[in-house]
Amino acid sequence: MYTLIGVDGKKYGPVTKDQIRQWINEGRLNGESKVQEDGPDTWKQLQDIPELQSLLTQFSPPPPPPIPPRPQAGARTSRLAIASVILAALGLPTLGATALFGLIFGVIALVQIGRSRGALRGFGAALTGTVLSTAFLLVLPLFAALLFPALARAKGKAQTIHCMNNLKQVALAGFMYADANKTLPDTTNWCEALTPFFGGSSLLLKCPAGDTEKKCHYAFNAKLANLDPAKVQAPAQTVTFFECEDGGWDIAGGPELLPRLPRHRNAIVIVFADGHAEAVPEARVSQLRWDPGSQ
């Protein structure tokens, strides 16, 4: 049994050897702690008592955390550390494109600063750039998964609006032709007949989502050929021009020409005899009116 004085300066005992081992592990005793064995009234350091020395070797305290080197007077700041922070900060506006370089520069700067023995400063900046760049690289796939579908939807909506505007211009050209000729054009040459009325360019006859190699992506309702638009009984419901399945020149006909696979998110762009255009969902296509004289 032993009596001892702990690191707190208080006297404890009598205690067993097992108790001493536990207190060493807990940091309450060390090699310089005073210990008195039962018997003589003498105090020794714990490390001087042979039967207790082994207890000290069994306990190895964890090494202290590494301390970054203190910069020397006049030490210069690592340019790579500064570049790492800047590239990390640009990660958000560039969608993470600069983050990889920020990470590389930050790691190199940390290594160089550690080896410089204080000749370089900028440890905090390099660490900040490394951490932020790593965070951007980890979040980038999730960000892309959320962003790309939204961009695709926005692009599709823009193409739909563009296509609707094209068909409105085509219908307007048809009405201008009818004002000059008393009737809408014939099915055999309606593209040539209307082209002069929109500046001689055929770009309005192409859907932005269609095959770029085709000259025209629209068709003319054959039942309105050579007809005065004023005689259409339900102009707001009667199809005049519409998207067709295969792009081609002077295509005319009826619902058999509609695209089997709509180009605009399950909708087909139609312009009606009153001049307004719609992106008609597939579910409503069968309800379209094609005969200008039927009730």
Residue 64 has pLDDT above 70, yes or no: no
**Degrees, nearest 5: CA angle 132-134-136:** 70
**Residues of the domain holding 132:** 76-150
Of all residues in the chain, the percent with pLDDT exceeding 70 is 91
Whether 227 is in a domain gets the answer yes
State pLDDT tens for residues 42-51. 788 878 877 7
Assess whether 201 and 109 both reside in one domain. no
Picking from 116, 150, 184, the residue at the C-terminal end of a domain is 150
Same domain (yes/no): 32, 128? no
166 and 281 together in one domain: yes
Same domain flag for 280 and 161? yes
Q: What is the pLDDT of residues 27-43, one digit of tens each?
A: 787 878 888 876 666 78
Asked whether 30 and 5 are in contact (CB, 8 A), the reply is: no
Which range among 7-21, 116-130, 178-192 shows the weakest confidence by mean pLDDT?
A: 7-21
As a residue count, the chain comes to 295
Report the Cα 291 to chain-centroid distance in Å.
49
pTM of the model: 0.54
Please, which residues have CB within 8 angstroms of residue 113's CB and are 6 or more apart in sequence? Answer: 68, 69, 78, 81, 120, 121, 122, 123, 126
The reply to whether 169 and 267 lie within a common domain is yes
CA distance 55 to 117: 37
pLDDT, position 59: 59
First and final C-alpha spacing in the chain = 114
Please state the domain count of the chain. 3
Contact 231, 200 (CB under 8 A): no
Do 214 and 258 belong to one domain?
yes
For the beta carbon of residue 293, count every other beta carbon within 10 angstroms: 11
The residues, ordered by sequence, that sit 6+ positions from 165 with a Cβ below 8 Å of its Cβ are 277
Extended beta strands in 16-126, E state: 34-37, 44-45, 76-77, 120-121
Lowest mean pLDDT among 70-74, 151-155, 219-223, 285-289: 70-74
- Residues 157-178: pLDDT tens digits? 999 999 999 999 999 999 999 9
Q: Are 189 and 250 in contact (CB under 8 A)?
A: yes
Mean pLDDT of the region 68-96: 80
